[in-house]
Amino acid sequence: MSAEQGSGSRIVSWTGRFRERSLKALPPEKLLPETQPSYVASWIYVFGMGSIAALGYVIVSGCVLALNGPAWYHVSAFGHFINSTHLWSVELFFMFMVIHLWGKFWMASWRGGRALTWITGVLAFVVSIVTAFTGYLLQTNFDSEWIAFQAKDALNAVGVGAWFNVANLGQILMWHIVLLPLAVGAVVVLHVLLVRAHGVVPPLEAAETDSQLRNLQLRDAAGTLETGEGDLS
């Protein structure tokens, strides 16, 4: 499109506008940064990535189980091992996610227009809980049989028991391997993009007079800043 070429010309196509808006919200160097603010220096910051890694193993082990069906692990030693990795990656996923949540709470990470990041994080936690619950129903063992009997009451009491029938293996299988993973995936991707777009929240009570910011102000004042080429503001 010629409209895209040359500075100053307006982009009119929907695609072009979408691209420009996306790039403005999340330029590549923000999406995949090579530096982080100096205050990003604590072990508490690794648990978000830990959750993502654990989710990766949840998905991979789940795919192997899906290829063989829910009853496979009862009859195959390898299947049982894969089932165990699925269980433990889920346990690790939740452990890391909860530590991540605690950390973000004590940092009040919703500050500075990051409320939606916090909200999508909580949503990811909630949807993951529902997904894990459907997984427990697919064990096709004594535990899942009992959960199917007991959990129906809460679901029936709120009127969703017919569409979320915990004793219907086929229905719950679809929730667990189609609908809910799509939801978890979408929410997690959105959450991560929001984190990257907004950057990591600065410390509480940080001020322009902090030495971490003062040097830069001096440089600003001295006029050593790069020219505003490509400035989007």
Partner 1 sequence: MVAQGIFLGWGQFTIQLGNLIVIIAMVVLFVLALLLPFPGGRGRR
Partner 2 sequence: MTTISRRRTAGPERPDRRGKDLDRGPWRGTVREYDLIKELVYALVVVGLLTVGLAAVVGSPDDAPVTLQQWATTAPSDFVATATAELGGTSDTAQYGPPYNSTQGASQTLGPIDLQSLSGVRLPIDTAQDFVVGPLETLPQPPAGLAVWNAASDTQRTDWTAAYSDALSKAPDGDPAKVAAGNYGPVPGLDSALLVMAQKGALEGALDGGTAAGLDRTKTVLFLGDGTYFPGLADSQHLTGDQWGMMNETGNYPGQSWLWLFSFWYQIPPFNSLANADLVIVGIMVLLTLALMFLPFIPGLRSIPRLIPIHRLIWRDYYRRR
Look at residue 57 and give the partner it binds from partner 1, partner 2, none, a contact being a CB closer than 5 to 8 Å depending on partner kind.
partner 2
Look at residue 161 and give the partner it binds from partner 1, partner 2, none, a contact being a CB closer than 5 to 8 Å depending on partner kind.
partner 2
Reduced to 3 states (helix: H, G, I; strand: E, B; else coil), residue 228 is coil
Between 72 and 94, name the residue whose CB sits nearer to partner 1. Answer: 94
95 binds partner 1 (CB under 8 A): yes
Angstrom CA distances, 131 to 92, 196, 198, stand at: 15, 26, 28
Backbone phi, psi, residue 199, to 5°: 75, 170
Q: How many residues bind partner 1 (CB under 8 A)?
A: 17
Of 1, 13, 20, 210, which lies in the binding site for partner 2, with binding defined by CB under 8 A?
A: 210
206 binds partner 1 (CB under 8 A): no
Angstrom CA distances, 225 to 207, 210, 221, stand at: 21, 20, 9
- DSSP class of residue 194 equals H
- Segment near partner 1 (CB under 8 A), from 58-66, 69-77, 94-102, 127-135? 94-102
22 binds partner 2 (CB under 8 A): no
- Alpha-carbon 78 to chain mean position: 30
211 binds partner 1 (CB under 8 A): no
Instruction: For residue 117, give both structure tokens.
Output: 């990041």
CB of 88 to partner 1, least distance (A): 10
Reduced to 3 states (helix: H, G, I; strand: E, B; else coil), residue 188 is helix
